[in-house]
Amino acid sequence: ALGVEYPELSERIFLLSEVVGQVYDIPDPMSNPEIPIEEIAKDIRNLIHKGFARILWLADA
């Protein structure tokens, strides 16, 4: 969606999971109520923790 809205920035748009070498969508807790929001939050927190150095590097690139 962001790559379509901002095609000029598509080379700088990444999935959070992609930053740690995986590619998967993080579930939307509103459209996936069967997945506990705490589980989704834990996944996001872990991805940020694992990928923080690369996120900083990509932000400066």
- Domain residues for the domain of 8 are 2-60
Q: Give the burial class of 33: count Cβ atoms within 10 A of its Cβ; 0-12 exposed, 13-18 middle, 19 or more buried.
A: exposed
Give the model's pLDDT for residue 61.
Answer: 82
Other Cβ atoms closer than 10 A to 49: 9
* pTM beyond 0.85: no
* pLDDT for 35 beyond 90: yes
Based on the structure, what is the number of domains in the chain? 1
State pLDDT tens for residues 8-34.
999 999 999 999 999 999 999 999 899
Choose among 45, 55, 57, 60: nearest CA to 18: 55
Give the model's pLDDT for residue 12.
Answer: 93
